[in-house]
């Protein structure tokens, strides 16, 4: 029977790498994106080139109406299937010092990074619980664990996901549904391209930024049966930070 996985924000960066990784494990990957169809199609093309299967699934992770419409439509088309792996990866940065942070900078980051995890997971986890199998993998950040100047909004959102991860893991454990989070450090993606790599490498013990594929390998492990006794964990991948 075909297995399905959904990756939010799957069009670029870490989301693209995870989508490709899950497809290589035999999953039919639903690549969620908000507006950049061209980049989402590149992810799908790469999956197909590697012999995998996938499809694009457009919706705004902040909008419960769009989420419900897109996922309900998918379920109607696949009545015998369910999405057994969910990777909550969609996220944005709107960095500013706290004193100058605007309402929009706060709300956009909280809505996209934190509220989206609640909305999408709430919709899908009932199917995992009913089937007594599922994997929820949340992409957080070392900022959510340690804090970072200029990222009060981002760190607060990621810290919120960490609390959600640990609590939901307790609720879902008896139904064989695991809930874990990956906390990347500095990874080479569009989200970090504006950062001063030369300066930041000085504080990273391994002396380099990570690669999206390195995060994807960990996500693949957590999605697999090999991680069946791991839940409620926040696993850092930051070169020693």
Residues 18 and 22: their CA atoms lie apart, in Å, by: 6
Residues 128 and 110: their CA atoms lie apart, in Å, by: 26
Q: Quote the distance between the C-alpha of residue 54 and its chain's center.
A: 17
Of the residues 4, 119, 127, 154, only one is catalytic, namely 154
Residue carrying the six token digits 């989070």: 181
Query: Over the Cα atoms of the chain, what is R_g?
Result: 17
Bridge-based pairing state of the strands 3-7 and 83-88? parallel
Cα atoms found within 13 Å of the Cα of residue 48, Cβ hemisphere only: 11
Whether 154 sits among the annotated catalytic residues: the reply is yes
- Spell out the residues 6+ positions from residue 61 whose beta carbon is closer than 8 angstroms to its own: 8, 9, 32, 34, 67, 90, 112, 116, 119, 120
Active site residues: 154
């Amino acid at each position: 029977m075909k297995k399905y996985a959904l990756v939010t924000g799957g069009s670029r960066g870490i989301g693209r790498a995870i989508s490709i990784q899950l497809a290589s494990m035999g999953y039919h990957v639903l690549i969620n994106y908000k507006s950049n169809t061209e980049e989402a199609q590149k992810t799908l093309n790469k999956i197909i080139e590697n012999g995998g299967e996938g499809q694009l699934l457009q919706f705004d992770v902040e909008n419960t109406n769009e989420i419900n419409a897109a996922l309900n439509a998918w379920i109607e088309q696949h009545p015998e299937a369910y999405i057994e792996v969910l990777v909550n990866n969609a996220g944005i940065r709107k960095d500013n010092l706290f004193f100058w942070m605007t309402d929009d900078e706060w709300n956009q980051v909280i809505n996209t990074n934190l509220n989206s995890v609640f909305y999408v997971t709430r919709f899908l986890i009932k199917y995992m619980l009913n089937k007594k199998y599922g994997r929820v993998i949340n992409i957080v950040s070392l900022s959510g664990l340690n804090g970072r100047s200029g990222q009060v909004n981002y760190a607060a959102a990621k810290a919120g996901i960490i609390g959600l991860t640990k609590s939901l893991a307790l609720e879902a454990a008896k139904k064989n549904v695991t809930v874990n989070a990956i906390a990347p450090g500095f990874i080479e993606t569009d989200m970090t391209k504006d950062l001063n790599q030369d300066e930041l490498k000085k504080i990273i013990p391994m002396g380099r930024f990570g690669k999206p594929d390195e995060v994807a390998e960990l996500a693949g492990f957590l999605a697999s049966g090999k991680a069946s006794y791991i839940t409620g964990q926040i696993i850092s991948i930051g070169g020693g930070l």
